[in-house]
């Protein structure tokens, strides 16, 4: 598969122009919407950071860059979709992950914009198939994700609980000092997202051929 991707890269851009334009149009609509409804702090979420990184990888082919994000957004997308589906059945999010989707006080357009979690993993894996997959991706994501976690803690409003830096799964973090909790959170996030996601993406790509 990698040899095929390399031949295609030499022949031209591995990502069709239509896909590049459509994804860029999405970002041009999504960024001002989030700025107007949720504020710039919202960009510190790992899945939102991934949108910007994938935008770069869409235009500047980089197997390493897209591989760093594919696993994360795949796991997040699967969990998010399952939680939303359960919320639609039972009337509320069972874990709190998609609780905001059932909050009428939030603008409907903001909540609808979050539906990108459903198609984004498919797009990321498709980019991996077009560009090739780099096994170093999860290691790079350990760096990027840790920076996003610390950035969300440093610059974000504690009430926003960005990347669960204040209250993992709604439980206020009071038992550890931040200097201990944040590194542990970075390690736990890598173990729960990046590496399982790496295996899932590898499995999917192997079956797609």
**Is residue 44 exposed (0-12), middle (13-18) or buried (19+ Cβ within 10 Å)?**
buried
| 142-180 tens-digit pLDDT | 999 999 999 999 998 988 889 998 877 777 877 888 899
pLDDT tens per residue, range 113-139: 999 999 999 999 999 999 999 999 999
For residue 100, is pLDDT > 60? yes
Band of pLDDT at residue 52, cut at 50, 70 and 90: very high
Backbone dihedral angles phi then psi of residue 91, each to the nearest 5 degrees: 95, -5
Kindly report the pTM of this predicted structure: 0.90
The residue-averaged pLDDT of 184-197 equals 96
Q: What is the pLDDT of residue 4?
A: 44
């Amino acid at each position: 598969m990698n040899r095929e991707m390399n031949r295609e890269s030499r022949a031209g851009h591995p990502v069709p122009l239509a896909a590049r334009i459509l994804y860029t149009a999405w970002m041009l609509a999504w960024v001002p919407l989030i700025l107007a409804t949720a504020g710039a702090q919202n960009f510190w979420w790992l899945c939102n950071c991934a949108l910007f990184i994938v935008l770069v990888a869409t235009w500047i082919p980089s197997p390493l860059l897209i591989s760093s994000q594919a696993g994360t957004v795949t796991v997040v997308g699967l969990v998010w979709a399952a939680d939303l589906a359960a919320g639609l059945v039972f009337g509320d999010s069972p874990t709190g992950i998609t609780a905001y989707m059932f909050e009428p006080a939030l603008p409907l357009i903001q909540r609808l914009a979050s539906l990108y979690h459903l198609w984004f993993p498919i797009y990321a894996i498709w980019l991996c198939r077009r560009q090739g997959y780099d096994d170093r991706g999860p290691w790079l994501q350990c760096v990027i994700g840790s920076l996003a976690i610390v950035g969300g803690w440093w610059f974000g409003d504690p009430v926003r609980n960005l990347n669960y830096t204040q209250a993992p799964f709604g439980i206020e973090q009071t038992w550890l000092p931040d200097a201990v909790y944040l590194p542990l959170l970075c390690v736990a996030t890598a173990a729960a997202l990046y590496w399982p996601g790496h295996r899932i993406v590898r499995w999917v790509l192997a079956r797609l051929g």
